[in-house]
Amino acid sequence: MPAHRTPVTSAATTLTARALLLDMDGTIVNSDAVVERCWRQWAGEHGLDPDEVMKVVHGRQGYATMAVLLPDRPMEQNHADNRRMLAAETADVDGVVPVAGAPAFMAALAGLPHALVTSADLRLAEARMGAAALPMPAVRVTAESVGASKPDPEGFLKGAARLGFAPEECVVFEDSEAGIAAGRAAGMRVVGVGPRAAAHAPDAHVADLTRVRVEALPGGGLTLHISS
């Protein structure tokens, strides 16, 4: 089945695909409270403006965020800090909740090809998905699975390969600039979720997942009915 996008009206979009690739934080799980706590503390420790730090943390692995913010610091220090940050974030699930509509959206994907593609490591992904009471997809690409952080497309390309589909047959759900860029670089269509995504020209944009309806197609594949 060829994948295609059919605009319906300015307020509605239909996308057909063989598989979906889902970011986690900001897309199906709202972890902003934890991210704010941990990264604002890190910013203070390094004499950085917390508001400026928060503009670049979303979507990337921690070490990649640190490399952007502290370009002259040795990368081994970024990786050491990243390990410490991952432990702190894994231990802190206070305020972690599902994005609106995520429980029904994930339930609709049961039995359909989909994968989690996240910059979190597996322990953090399990902690946050569990705190949000969302099912962990059987196929997941976490930080341990890739050699490069988003906006590099490696994670999405690996997710598509593990599901057995070509990039153009997949639709990405993302909330961040880095994630949207990664999905686009992978040759995939992108649905942007939430306020951060709106500024980065995804193929379709929704405020949350209550605006997405999933329809399984006879013989395989699915249709996304998206309302703005």
Active-site residues, by number, are: 23, 25
Other beta carbons within 10 angstroms of residue 93's beta carbon come to 18
Instruction: Please give the C-alpha separations between residue 124 and each of 5, 97, 223, in angstroms, as whole numbers.
Output: 34, 14, 30
Residues 6+ apart with CB under 8 A from 191: 15, 171, 172, 173, 174, 202, 203, 204, 205, 206, 212, 224, 226
Structure tokens at 110: 């049961």
Handedness of CA 184, 16, 197, 25 (dihedral sign): negative
Residues 6+ apart with CB under 8 A from 52: 43, 69
For residue 205, the one-letter residue type is: H
For the chain, first and last CA: distance in Å? 26
- Spatial distance between the Cα atoms of 200 and 77, rounded to a whole number of angstroms: 31
Residues present in the chain in total? 228
- Per-residue DSSP letters for 13-68? EEEEESEEEE--BTTTEE-HHHHHHHHHHHHHHTT--HHHHHTT-TTS-HHHHHHH
